[in-house]
Chain A
Amino acid sequence: MALTFKGGTHPHGNKHFTQGKAIQVLPPPELIAIPLSQHIGAPGKALVKKGDTVKKGQVLSESQGFVSIPVHSSVSGKVKDIKPWPHFLGSTSETILIENDGEDSPAEQITHPDWSALSPDDIRRIAREAGLAGMGGAAFPTVVKLSPPAGKIIDTVILNGAECEPYLTADHRLMLEYPDDIIEGIKMILFTLGVKRALIGIEKNKPDAIKLLTEKTANINEIKVVGVKVKYPQGAEKQLIDAITGRKVPSGGLPFDIGCYVQNVGTAKSLYDAVVKGIPLIERVVTVTGKTLRNPQNFLVRIGTPIKHLIEACDGTTEPIGKIIMGGPMMGIAQSSDEVPVVKGTSGILVFSRKEADLPQEKPCISCAHCVDVCPIKLLPSTLASLIENARFEEAEEYRLFDCMECGSCTFVCPSKRRILHYIKWGKDEVIKSRKKK
């Protein structure tokens, strides 16, 4: 039996649009927009001002606090402005706009072709200075994960190559095209944490990646490749840990509470790039896909490239665009503007036609309990939704509202097309607001 977790669902993979397409380098556009806030944690403070000349890879912001990392310029050129700009979380956010001079003249890079002389703290410092963040979507600062609190003993490092979101193939391509970089990055993580075991979890719909990485790690005792069942949300942190180790992260806890450390395969590669090549996180692989795109692609994109350039680079669409989603179709965020730039956590851009963007009509709940069956957290999503719909937020909290990880499986399977996750997010928001009032 394939390794997996309880619950979950099986959306159409739709990975065929891009999974066979090698990563293409997308030339940076004339205008790059780098938001100061790209990750969980405090936004940085700008270190440059309007009119300044910047180099490719130059640090643009100062981190503020522990859970904070700097951003870097992904091109060389001139700071055109620092102003509110469309942001992937909706509305606008303080963003540094850079006019690309097309030269790509690099800032000073400190390389370590042989990193064996470095200490764990050196690697943590490089991870912070290079602005490394989780590439899977949430963009959690890597340095924070690499610095577990004293007393937490980690015995297993899990590399997340599950890529359970439909449509997305960025991690898949990365594993096929940069396996050596990823493996070297994993070694760095093991070294930094002082751990002897790393498991690379890959969904079984990527047999070529499983095969390649298994071959590449055949002579490395510490690293093993594990095929996991194709099921959504197999790539969610807690579900992947459960599938591979059988351990359950306690409610409100983090993986290191049960001795685990989870990192996306893309992050391992960016750690390698930062340490060995001295390149900060200024570019990443983004799957640009959708039925309506003429030529869907996996692009190596500079951070700060507005979405519209990615869509143009796919030769546009055959039908008018109805929806642009940053991320996958299950957890991605619908964008209100195509000026929104790619950020560190952007794994994909999914483009829907108007027809695909149509919301189905909501019908009454018929208590079929399909949502209960698929919930990977074992919540009662339909009950939560109806409590919140009736503004009974405190009762919803008793039904463990805040344990919801927002994977959307409940909403996906609902035959009544109820917007269960919509209600859940709204309920969380209301509860947080009322807590602040107190």
Chain B
Amino acid sequence: MADNKLAVAVSPHVREDISIRKIMFGVLLALLPALAGSVYFYGIKALWLSLIGVASALAAEAIFQLIRGVHIDVTDGSAAITGLLLAFNLPPDVPYWMPVIGAFVGIMIGKQLFGGLGRNILNPALVGRAFLMASWPVDMTTKWIVPRFGTLSGIDTVTSATPLNVFKSMQSVIANPEATAVELGNAQQTLQQLGSNWSNMFFGNIGGCLGETSAVLLLIGGIYLLIKNYADWRIPLSYIGSVALLSWAFMGSNGLFSGAVPFHIFSGGLMLGAFFMATDMVTTPITPRGRWIFGIGCGIFTFVIRKWGGYPEGVSYSILLMNIAAPLIDRYTKPRVLGYHKKPKEEKKAE
């Protein structure tokens, strides 16, 4: 046997049976229950919007890889996730061209301009959504579809808006010093109903963005991700946990610690965001402590926007803001290396 036929390489000589593609297709699989739910509640248009989103994202990825002169490969599944998540963040009755534009902006500005997979700072799907939100705010906030068996808000007394919209407008009634006693009473009663009728929200029988409708279907996918280790459990736990805690403490209409926790965690995009967008590996911290901080930060921003912001919902902006902070979080949360009990003195000086 000729010696030059032997391969030499640095150890380890075996690798785990895992790949980027396997992770990405795992995430896609985990999103399928929510997609099925969306089609069930809002009709077949949800499917077409999703497929258009995925196809546009794949096309955008290939086009910009061609322009950049790099190897064209869209089969790793990452662009498909961007397209699907973008569609999930749209109201279910938007025109068909919207996911196309969103996907192109998300992939181009959000991902390929930074150098493609692994290099982007922001979640590309959320970049696309933010662009659409800024450009076509009316489409992005009114094109809801009434779910198959219910009302937009999930309660019978109010039928014209999504739960968080109703919550926001009732809060502003209560905050308005000129509101009449009747108006105040109605608002209190509506909030009461919203808070206690969260089962519609849990199962998805409400209005909302295409993919965020059913908390239970998102949970099924999310738990699958955690079991397969395709997402880090710390982020959804700390994100949802901090929203729950802050909402319980400050979102109630009867003083501190009277908020309706199930309403706040199952409404809007929190489940979708916490399990599928805040866990995007590329744009989140890599240190364990960093991931706790990231989740808590997302939770605080979401709470702040829901409570005081101009929008009824703040999940996507919270995640984008924390994406920006991720590299900094990593720098300040380096784990203590085994065998170091205290920080050596010379390092303290350096800081």
Contact = CB atoms under 8 A, between A and B. Distances in A.
Interface of A: 9, 11-12, 90, 166, 238, 242, 248-253, 320-325, 327, 329-339, 350, 352, 354, 357, 359-360, 363-370, 372-373, 376-380, 382-383, 398-400, 403, 406, 408-409, 411-417, 419, 421-422, 425
Nearest to A350: B13
Interface residues of B, number: 46
A-B interface, 5 closest residue pairs, ranked by CB to CB distance from nearest: A408-B12, A251-B339, A364-B118, A369-B286, A334-B8
A140 B118 CA distance: 42
Given A325-B13, A413-B16, A336 B286 contact: no
B211 to A, nearest CB: 22
Contacts of A359: 7, 9
Given A377-B338, A377-B339, 5 more contacts: A90-B8, A251-B339, A253-B339, A331-B12, A380-B330
Interface of B: 1, 3, 5-16, 18-20, 22-23, 76, 78, 116-119, 229, 232, 281-288, 291, 330, 334-341, 347
Contact of A248 (B281, B283, B291, B338): B338
A412 B14 contact: yes
B19 A403 contact: no
Contact of B11 (A335, A367, A408): A408
A378 B338 contact: yes
B13 A252 contact: no
A416 B229 contact: no
A306 B232 CA distance: 48
Given A369-B286, A403-B337, A320 B19 contact: no
Contacts of A380: 286-287, 330, 334-335
A329 B14 contact: yes
Nearest to B10: A422
B203 to A, nearest CB: 32
B13 A334 contact: yes
Nearest to B283: A367
B328 to A, nearest CB: 14
Nearest to B344: A251
B288 A403 contact: no
A360 B15 contact: yes
Q: Is the interface of A mostly helix, strand, loop or mixed?
A: loop
Contacts of A382: 286
19 contacts: A166-B14, A250-B339, A250-B340, A251-B338, A323-B6, A323-B7, A325-B13, A329-B13, A333-B11, A363-B76, A367-B118, A369-B286, A369-B291, A380-B335, A398-B347, A411-B15, A412-B14, A412-B16, A414-B15
Given A378-B337, A399-B334, A403-B339, A336 B3 contact: yes
B14 A334 contact: no
Contacts of A354: 7
A249 B338 CA distance: 8
Given A364-B116, A367-B282, A352 B338 contact: no
A357 B15 contact: no
A415 B25 CA distance: 13
A139 to B, nearest CB: 17
A421 B19 contact: no
B20 A363 contact: yes
Contact of A330 (B7, B11, B116): B11
B11 A329 contact: yes
A409 to B, nearest CB: 8
A317 to B, nearest CB: 10
A366 B115 CA distance: 12
Contacts of B229: 370
A372 B335 contact: yes
A336 B8 contact: yes
Nearest to A325: B13
Contacts of B117: 363-364, 366
A132 B5 CA distance: 35
B16 A11 contact: yes
A373 B232 CA distance: 10
Nearest to B19: A415
Given A324-B6, A336-B6, A366 B118 contact: yes
Given A360-B15, A363-B20, A378-B336, A368 B7 contact: no
B7 A322 contact: yes
A334 B14 CA distance: 12
A372 B288 contact: yes
Given A329-B14, A366-B20, A413-B16, A337 B334 contact: no
B201 to A, nearest CB: 32
Contacts of A322: 5-7
A416 to B, nearest CB: 6
A400 B119 contact: no
Find the residue from A250, A333, A359, A366 having the highest chain B CB count within 10 A: A366
Contact of A415 (B20, B284, B287): B20
B22 A415 contact: yes
B227 to A, nearest CB: 15
A366 B282 contact: yes
Given A364-B117, A380-B286, A417 B13 contact: no
Nearest to A386: B118
A352 B283 CA distance: 38
A238 B338 contact: yes
A330 B335 CA distance: 24
Contacts of B283: 367
B13 A421 contact: no
B288 to A, nearest CB: 7
